């Protein structure tokens, strides 16, 4: 071990992380699978009272007497998400981002993200990196891990609710796991985003011959083997995308990385299977933000149902337990699965660490000096 007091860290731009493999979806899916095993083992740590917090949320008032203070708006927030992940990663990390839908008018993405990686022993920074692609690809890779373990092998049709960036990368990840997809049905609100999605599918996935724009959630869900719901609704339960029992095909998998309002009875009766990315995180959300009417992920609804005695806790399974073989997962071709995806910082840390180490190996990025010797020690 070196006794040097010198501390340097590596800055990695978006072009740097692309060269290091940030857009390698197949590799990202494997890394997400690996980090789910570590979550199941408990080899991780997050913030909050119960050490499972999604992160710290900074929002703004409806109005302010201070002229420079931002005011509330759709997706107007800042977010800090931190965690430690063990295993081969053995890394602490913080994802920090600001979000504003009006960024699009300036040619910028809605959210602008960075990731800081730190030595878990000394706390010294190791890397500061562009994280839009880190976050985007890990977000898309998670439902693909769900598809790897929960979807039928003979998937042919996919329903897309929300034709945004998230569902573009998610479709790419689905095809990595189920390459025989032939039909995509897409439901959205704006004609421009729908047509953009159709063009994206035609340009990138020539094996998909049938791409349909549909008018309702029912049309997107009916007869679909795989469904991804990724919308930005935030107006309460009445605005959440809807799923009714009679719409869902036997054997289907529905992935929900956003708010979703599904019939409760099939969950209560055991007809629909409940899988979360990390159940304790939703318990923390309940305590920190509120119940399902405020925080509309499926995981939050299941926490409410468990709390109210409507759903046995053991019927909600973490994906990591299925990956590790603790839970058998799909046992019938007709099993219907719902996968609640809340987003976990360990995903950013695992993929970010993988890309950082590859960048070091390739000599990418810019080495920045924190100090040679600290002025205060």
Tell me the per-residue pLDDT of 162-197, one tens digit each, with 9 for 90 and over. 999 999 999 999 999 999 999 999 999 889 999 999
CATH of domain 140-344: 3.40.50.720
Q: Where are the CATH 3.30.1780.10 domain residues in the chain? A: 7-134+346-371
Q: Are 52 and 318 in contact (CB under 8 A)?
A: no
Q: Are 330 and 251 in contact (CB under 8 A)?
A: no
The 8-class DSSP code of residue 261 comes to E
The 8-class DSSP code of residue 87 comes to T
How far is 222 from 158, CA to CA, in rounded Å?
A: 10
Residues 6+ apart with CB under 8 A from 143: 170, 173, 174, 228, 255, 257, 339, 341
How far is 190 from 103, CA to CA, in rounded Å?
A: 18
3-state secondary structure (DSSP) of residue 124: coil
Average pLDDT per run of 10 along the chain, which is 377 residues long? 86 98 98 98 95 94 96 92 98 97 92 98 98 97 98 98 95 98 96 95 96 97 97 77 97 95 96 98 90 83 96 98 97 97 97 98 98 95
Q: Where are the CATH 3.40.50.720 domain residues in the chain? A: 140-344
Q: Are 128 and 116 in contact (CB under 8 A)?
A: yes
Beta bridge partners of residue 57, listed in sequence order: 79
3-state secondary structure (DSSP) of residue 368: strand
The fold adopted by the segment(s) 7-134+346-371 is ornithine cyclodeaminase, domain 1 (3.30.1780)
What pLDDT is recorded for position 235?
65
**Cα–Cα nearest to 300, from 283, 288, 314:** 283
How far is 126 from 291, CA to CA, in rounded Å?
A: 38
3-state secondary structure (DSSP) of residue 255: strand
Residues 6+ apart with CB under 8 A from 201: 171, 184, 208, 211
Rounded to whole angstroms, the maximal C-alpha distance in the chain is: 67
Residues 6+ apart with CB under 8 A from 78: 57, 58, 96, 97, 98, 99
What pLDDT is recorded for position 2?
64
How far is 203 from 168, CA to CA, in rounded Å?
A: 12
How far is 221 from 263, CA to CA, in rounded Å?
A: 14
What pLDDT is recorded for position 75?
83
The 8-class DSSP code of residue 53 comes to B
What pLDDT is recorded for position 167?
96
Instruction: Give, for 16, the enclosing helix (H) or strand (E).
Output: helix 14-19
The 8-class DSSP code of residue 47 comes to B
**Cα–Cα nearest to 218, from 248, 188, 256:** 248
3-state secondary structure (DSSP) of residue 38: helix
How far is 352 from 12, CA to CA, in rounded Å?
A: 11
Give me the half-sphere count of Cα atoms (radius 13 Å) on the Cβ side of residue 113.
20
Residues 6+ apart with CB under 8 A from 173: 25, 28, 29, 140, 141, 143, 144, 147
pTM of the model: 0.95
Instruction: Report how far apart, in Å, the C-alpha atoms of 40 and of each of 86, 96, 276 are.
Output: 12, 25, 12
């Amino acid at each position: 071990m070196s006794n040097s007091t010198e501390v340097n860290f590596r800055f990695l731009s978006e072009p740097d992380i692309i060269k290091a493999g940030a857009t390698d979806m197949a590799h990202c899916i494997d890394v997400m699978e690996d980090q789910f095993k570590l979550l199941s083992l408990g080899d991780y740590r997050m913030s909050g009272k119960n050490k499972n917090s999604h992160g710290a949320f900074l929002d703004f008032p409806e109005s302010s007497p201070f002229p420079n203070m931002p005011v509330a708006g759709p997706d107007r927030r800042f977010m800090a998400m931190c965690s430690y992940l063990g295993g081969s990663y053995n890394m602490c990390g913080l994802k920090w981002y600001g979000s504003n839908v009006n960024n699009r008018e300036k040619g910028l993405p809605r959210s602008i993200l960075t990731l800081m990686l730190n030595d878990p022993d000394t706390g010294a920074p190791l890397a500061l990196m562009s994280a839009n692609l880190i976050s985007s690809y890990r977000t898309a890779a998670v439902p693909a891990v769900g598809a790897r373990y929960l979807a039928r092998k003979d998937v042919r049709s996919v329903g897309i609710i929300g034709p945004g960036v998230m569902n573009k990368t998610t479709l790419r990840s689905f095809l990595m796991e189920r390459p025989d997809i032939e039909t995509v049905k897409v439901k959205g609100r704006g004609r421009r985003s729908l047509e953009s999605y159709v063009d994206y599918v035609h340009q990138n996935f020539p094996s998909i011959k049938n791409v349909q724009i549909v008018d309702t959630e029912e049309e997107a869900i009916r007869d679909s083997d795989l469904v991804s719901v990724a919308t930005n609704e935030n107006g309460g339960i009445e605005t959440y995308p809807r799923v009714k029992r009679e719409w869902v095909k036997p054997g289907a998998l529905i992935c929900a990385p956003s708010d979703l309002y599904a019939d409760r009875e099939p969950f209560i009766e055991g007809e629909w299977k409940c899988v979360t990315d990390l159940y304790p995180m939703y318990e923390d959300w309940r305590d920190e933000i509120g119940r399902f009417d405020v925080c509309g992920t499926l995981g939050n609804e299941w926490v409410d149902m468990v709390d109210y005695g409507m759903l046995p806790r053991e019927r909600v399974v973490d994906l990591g337990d299925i990956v590790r073989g603790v839970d058998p997962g799909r046992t019938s071709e007709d099993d219907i699965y719902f996968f609640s995806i809340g987003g976990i910082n360990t995903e950013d840390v695992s993929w970010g660490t993988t890309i950082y180490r590859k960048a070091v190996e390739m000599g990418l990025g810019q080495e920045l000096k924190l100090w040679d010797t600290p002025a205060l020690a």
